[in-house]
Structure 1
Amino acid sequence: KAFCCLVAIREFQRKHTGSNITILCGDFNTEPCEAAYELIVSGNIVDENKKKIQAENHIKMATLQKLLNGLEGDDLIFKSAYKTILGDEPRITNLDADFCCCLDYIFYKGPPDSSQRHGFGVISVLDFLSEEEMRLNLPPSEVFPSDHLPLIATFSI
């Protein structure tokens, strides 16, 4: 799915050449240590995750590498808003009685010369309660209507 998403973004960028800012957010169903996250933030996948993809999807390594080669280029490497501000992804974005991990993200990329001081960049993110505090009103509840917690980022343009 991450491959398809990045291919669609590249096509959009080709059709809309004046568009230099892309924000990609939602439930990616992938943890920061997994291949889809890695592909989005680095443009590549480490060998261990390649082997895992190969085994789980019955795909040849040469085919996987060909797909990765088709996504080469800095135009498809995103930054994480939360990692930029907090130094790491939140430990929890999805929580219920049996499950607790980070699956949701706000990714962004701007023009190659952009920075927080001189243009587009993330300037703040919504902080989270501790896991203990969230478990007092275990999602979904009146306080947290979804098992996915809200992510909010403020950007400067």
Structure 2
Amino acid sequence: MDPLTQVSSDAFLNRKVLHHRHSHEDRAQQFSVVSYNILADCHVSPQTYPCCPEEHLPMSARHQQLEKELRYLNADIVCLQEVGTTYYQEHLLPMMQKQGYNGFRFKEKVLGCPEGIAMFFRTSRFSVVDFTSFDFNSKFKELIMKYVGESERDYVYKYLEKTSVMMMCRLCCKETGRVVSVGTFHVIWWMGLMPSAPQHVEVDVQSLQISVAMSELVKFAGGVDKPHILCGDFNSSPFSPAYGILTRGHLGGGGYEMFRALRPFKVSDNESKCLIELLPSSLYSHPSKSLKSAYAEVKGKEPDFTDYTDSFVECLDYIWFSSDSIRVTEVLDMVPESAITPLTACPNRVFPSDHLSLKAVFHLTNQQN
């Protein structure tokens, strides 16, 4: 291995643990959560990742590094996004089962997209209380039927129709008997993140997905006072309207202005409408009253990046938690940029995805479930 690759490889499995400033918890009571977009094969080509040598592009080549990383992360709960359907069945599930995880929780995306989301939990630590999954199109159809006039329903649904899905699992800790609900999903890509793309394309849809996801998780958990964690690839920077919804619980003024500027529905030669005129603005909110981001809580800010390609570097992935019922005690810091730049960008022969994994350690408060 050449010296530059060795530096990257050393950093890959030697990340710094960052402790919360008020962390004095009994480690036996703690549990860890990982969130990771592992980059499905169906999205990979020499054109999409030109800086990655072609021999390192297929998941068959990236699998060994991914296995090393998941062993290193050694989490109690693992939430993965962009999991290829065939890869899950033939490689990922058997691998995780050998490591002591239960891994039958997989939800493929809709509209023919051959990848999805997966959730694993360590069987020695947790048992399943309840599990559910859904596609966002079915939730949006319910909202459209309730709020949108019959003449406008078809084009609103066509605008909202995407491949995204979500899964939620309520887990009981075998050591404490405490219950925590965990959700994961992969938000649609916001094209406005790319400087060359039309700004704010479908950012309203993205924000609606995130609002619905958080609302559904609170309902699934049994109410705002029940412990809940939402993690995944949110495709949202810390400056996006969607991030603001998560932190505030509702859409801010700048978001209203941005959404009103979008006019995707041409209803006549002289009139166009925006989504926020057709659906109540109250839908762009969530009921979780104490939601915090694990990394921002420990570090004081979000990571500089969780996605690193040759053309795009941004923070898009998060682990959110209900801070009145859960404490974050530590997070695993991101690898420094200096560990990636010798290999140009991700993925590469060391880093198996264009995203970087997140890991947070939590402790349930004394509040009763």
Q: How does 1:92-131 map to 2 (within 5 A)?
A: 92-110=305-323, 112=324, 114=325, 120-131=326-337
Aligned to 1:78: 291
Aligned to 1:148: 355
After superposition, give the CA deviation of every residue in 1:30-53 in whole Å (9 maximum; x if it has no partner). 011111111112102221122112
Query: Does the 8 Å CA contact 1:40/1:76 hold for their aligned counterparts?
Result: no
Give the TM-score taking structure 2 as reference length: 0.36
- SS of corresponding position for 2:250: coil
The alpha-carbon deviation at position 21 of structure 1 amounts to: 1.1
Aligned to 1:117: none
After superposition, give the CA deviation of every residue in 1:93-143 in whole Å (9 maximum; x if it has no partner). 000111000000010114x3x4xxxxx311111112222322223210232
After superposition, give the CA deviation of every residue in 1:63-89 in whole Å (9 maximum; x if it has no partner). 443324xx464x354100000000000
Compute the RMSD of aligned alpha carbons: 2.3
Q: How does 1:46-61 map to 2 (within 5 A)?
A: 46-56=252-262, 58-60=274-276
Aligned to 1:7: 215
CA distance in 2, matches of 1:17, 1:45: 21
Query: Does the 8 Å CA contact 2:235/2:316 hold for their aligned counterparts?
Result: yes
Aligned to 1:22: 228
Query: Does the 8 Å CA contact 2:319/2:360 hold for their aligned counterparts?
Result: yes
Larger Rg: 2
CA distance in 2, matches of 1:43, 1:31: 16
Query: Does the 8 Å CA contact 2:328/2:363 hold for their aligned counterparts?
Result: yes
2:245 counterpart of 1:39? yes
- SS of corresponding position for 1:105: strand
- SS of corresponding position for 1:136: helix
Greater than 3 Å deviation, 4+ residue runs: 16-19, 60-64
Give the TM-score taking structure 1 as reference length: 0.80
Identity of aligned residues (%): 31
- SS of corresponding position for 2:275: coil
The alpha-carbon deviation at position 55 of structure 1 amounts to: 2.4
Query: Does the 8 Å CA contact 2:304/2:315 hold for their aligned counterparts?
Result: yes
- C-alpha change, 1:139 and 1:60, in structure 2 (3 Å) is closer
Query: Does the 8 Å CA contact 1:40/1:77 hold for their aligned counterparts?
Result: no
The alpha-carbon deviation at position 2 of structure 1 amounts to: 1.0
The alpha-carbon deviation at position 59 of structure 1 amounts to: 2.4
CA distance in 2, matches of 1:61, 1:51: 12
